[in-house]
Structure 1
Amino acid sequence: MPTLSDKKAIVEEITEELKGSDGLYITNYKGMSVGDMADLRTEFRKGNVRYKVYKNTMIKRAMEAIGGYDELYPFLNEQNGFAFVEEEFAAPAKALKQYIKDHNKPEFKAALIDGDFYGEKQLDTLAAMKSKSEVIGDIVGLLLAPVSNVVSALQAQGETVAGAVKTIAEKGEE
């Protein structure tokens, strides 16, 4: 039986896991064997996801210490496994989706990604999410698009400002 100092150490470990993560998935692993859990962890590791089992009371204490996890409290019952994710938000969802398809377990309960709550019916939505780096790349591409239009307009019209304005105006009319 863990002592009080052991429990405090576990809560501190969980607190550090939560602070170092951008998201948390909760699954119910009821009915899974040790081998099943090892296989699931292997799938998670491929996506750089840490999957751990903690007592619900311990993880709730860590969540309360940090704050912002209130929506997950109702799911802290039964036998839970917790997937801690950084940046690649879809990685755990993709791994879970495939594993559930092949083995019909574990049960996806909920997730909290960058402060946004996702319920049990939103696993497909999570699997379709882009990573932070993909979203940043899309934004940079959108920001650079107008600049590239100006550059191409300058080159197309003999590099005169009047020609560039004319080309940009014509593109705007399309």
Structure 2
Amino acid sequence: MKSTEKKVIIDNLKDQIDSYSHFYLTDISGLNAEDTSSLRRLCFKQDVKLVVAKNTLLRKALEGSSKNAEELYDALKGNTSIMFTETGNVPAKLIKDFSKKYKKPVLKAAYVEESVYMGENQLDALIAVKSKNELIGDVVALLQSPMQTLLSQLQSGGNTIHGVLETLKERE
């Protein structure tokens, strides 16, 4: 491969690393063409971009990116594929579901919510990571809860008062 071709690949990877909020480094070696195609279709359906890259080119792209991901360099051994996503926990769920049947992909490392996760044992922690939108939804729900409680108490109190007034009216 010519150095100009390598530079184009490095620049392309760097742009993808910078443009996506989260990415996973996985090993999909050992999957046959049919299984790899199934994985790619599943990734496409869940808005995950799957890219296979050489470790040296990926390392240079990581070095040139705006992300602080030096800890990921140790994971760049063997076959490496990258899963780019905007939602942090989607690839983790995808990996867990797909690997039940095929034993692949194997999680090497992940860059999620500006944190680095190393090793396959971090998969459950990554599944539990909530996206920014999910966290905002939780905060909004917590903020609404006291108001909803107050409104329901006022409504039930109003119903009680109405019932007492109706009873008094009937006595007369």
Q: Structure 2-normalised TM-score?
A: 0.80
* Structure 1 position 153, deviation (Å): 6.5
Aligned equivalents of 1:115 and 1:45: distance in 2? Answer: 24
Aligned equivalents of 1:140 and 1:112: distance in 2? Answer: 27
Tell me how many residue pairs correspond in the alignment.
156
Aligned to 1:143: 143
Unaligned ranges ≥5, structure 1: 159-174
Aligned equivalents of 2:77 and 2:36: distance in 1? Answer: 18
* Structure 1 position 56, deviation (Å): 0.9
Measured against aligned partners, the alpha-carbon deviations of 1:33-92 in whole angstroms (never above 9, x if no partner) come to 2222211111112211001101111111111112401111100111111101102x2211
Aligned to 1:51: 50
Aligned equivalents of 1:147 and 1:19: distance in 2? Answer: 41
Aligned to 1:171: none
Q: Which moved further from structure 2: 125-134 or 68-77? A: 125-134
Measured against aligned partners, the alpha-carbon deviations of 1:92-138 in whole angstroms (never above 9, x if no partner) come to 11111111110112221111102112222011222233332222111
Q: Structure 1-normalised TM-score?
A: 0.79
Aligned equivalents of 1:114 and 1:5: distance in 2? Answer: 33
- Identity across the alignment (%): 36
Aligned to 2:82: 82
Say what the alpha-carbon RMSD is for the aligned residues: 2.0
Aligned equivalents of 2:97 and 2:153: distance in 1? Answer: 48
Aligned to 1:69: 69
Letter in 2 for 1:137: G
Aligned partners of 1:44 and 1:91 also within 8 Å: no
Aligned partners of 2:69 and 2:116 also within 8 Å: no
Shift >6 Å, 4+ stretches: 153-158
3-state SS in 1 of match to 2:95: helix
